[in-house]
Amino acid sequence: MLLGVGPDGPVAGRRVAVTGIGAVTCCGVGVEALWEGLVHPSISGERRVRGFDAADYFGPKEARRVDPFAAFTVAAADQALADAGSLGADPDRAGVIFATGVGGFETLAEQVTVYNDRGARRVSPFLVPMMMANAGAAHVSMRNGWRGPSETVVTACAAGTHAVANAARLVATGRCDVVVGGGAEASFHPVAVAAFANMTALSTSGESRPFDVRRDGFVMTEGAAALVLEDWNRAVARGARIYAEIAGSGSTADAHHITAPAPDGAGAVLCMEQALADARMVPADIAHINAHGTSTPLNDLAEARAITKVFGEPGPAVTSTKGVTGHGLGAAGAIEAVASVMAIERRLIPPTYGCEQLDPEIHLDVVRGEARPWEPGPVLSNSFGFGGHNGCLVILPPTA
């Protein structure tokens, strides 16, 4: 048993049901577009969101006063809430926990240019509410009149997973009956792209190839995903469709390097073990892993070694959806949580697009080529970020 984890787990509380999902990704707007892109992949090059209009959610005037990351947040949350049906939530017991890596970076960068070119008086008075990282969660809270916790997680590429985990914790402990958890990112400004390129994090080929021997970096993307998390008994009582259950989570730090993962994967190992202990499970219980799998040489190898340490060879079926979606930074973990939930519901594990020649140093059962039918079981969803942040979720098929 892990330090700090008792016989009933760190939170001996209520079961947490997933009753609504939403997504805005490079595959399109909505979860059906995401799923179609994952199981029938044919994408390449820049992973931008197409066919999205913020005015559809805010109106033409207000849409100009919202950074794209916050607009994506609202769109994904609105979808998830509509999917969940009539919640009838007590406003004081409903909350929002959303994630982002860099918040309103696009707006900030644009206004710096305005300042330099046109002077201080031309800087937008809406800059601060547009750039602040908590804007997305704030908008969702205000739109729904929810007065429970409204918080933002900023832990780089692990943020989306941490947000869903923290949201689940609020439900499990009884603080809230309903929480929307998720993540959003929109950082395609040329400065951000140049920064990632100059630190050699981006793929020079423009292709995302998780776990492939030819992988050479990640491909940036933008978008958002959201999950409605609800007290299980409450969801059953109102006749809600329950997609899945959030059964456990882990959070650790590598304490190693600001960008590089610990080579031995020690932090990732501990995080996966924590999540399993929280869910009262052992490695053999896990049937599928949605890997972090960014397509960078160091990260994929470190994660593969960590998975092997915990699960052995070849271990559960592994996929990285980033071959299709690209890397959504603070949104990634939330997008992958939605993908994991859909893999359970659709009884298919999406293939790892771009992985054609498995790295011989990686000894995992990587799903490649086509989606793999499966009898849904417990899923582990991994996210590991700059700063050494690690997050893991255990997601279960719905059972009585």
DSSP string, 78-104: HHHHHHH------GGGEEEEEE-SSSS
Q: How many domains does the chain have?
A: 1
In a domain, 3, yes or no: no
Domain-embedded: residue 147 = yes
Residue 72 has φ and ψ, to the nearest 5°, of -60, -40
**Which residues have a catalytic role annotated?**
157, 292, 327
Q: Establish if 83 belongs to a structural domain.
A: yes
Q: Please, which residues bridge with residue 97 across strands?
A: 151, 181
**Cβ contacts of residue 132 below 8 Å, gap of 6+?**
103, 104
Cβ atoms within 10 Å of 73's Cβ, excluding its own: 36
Range of the domain at 123: 16-396
Residue 387: CA atoms inside 13 Å, Cβ hemisphere, count? 16
Q: CA angle, corner 14, sides to 12 and 20, nearest 5? A: 135
pTM for this predicted structure: 0.95
Taking only the tens of pLDDT, the chain with its 400 residues reads 233 333 343 445 899 999 999 999 999 999 999 999 999 998 877 899 999 999 999 999 999 999 999 999 999 999 999 999 999 999 999 999 999 999 999 999 999 999 999 999 999 999 999 999 999 999 999 999 999 999 999 999 999 999 999 999 999 999 999 999 999 999 999 999 999 999 999 999 999 999 999 999 999 999 999 999 999 999 999 999 999 999 999 999 988 898 888 877 889 999 999 999 999 999 999 999 999 999 999 999 999 999 999 999 999 999 999 999 999 999 999 999 999 999 999 999 999 999 999 999 999 999 999 999 999 999 999 999 989 899 999 999 998 6
Would you say 368 and 314 are in contact if contact means Cβ atoms under 8 Å apart? Answer: no
Q: How far apart are CA 188 and CA 377, in angstroms?
A: 36
Domain with residue 307: its CATH number is: 3.40.47.10
Q: Is residue 361 part of a domain?
A: yes
Q: Is residue 134 part of a domain?
A: yes
Residue corresponding to tokens 């008994």: 233
pLDDT given for residue 220 in this prediction: 94
**Domain for residue 10, yes or no?**
no
Q: How far is CA 137 from the centre of its chain?
A: 15
User: Residue 8 falls within a domain, yes or no?
Assistant: no
Burial (0-12, 13-18, 19+ Cβ within 10 Å), 389: buried
Q: Is residue 196 part of a domain?
A: yes
Peptide bond just before 314 cis, omega within 30 deg:
yes
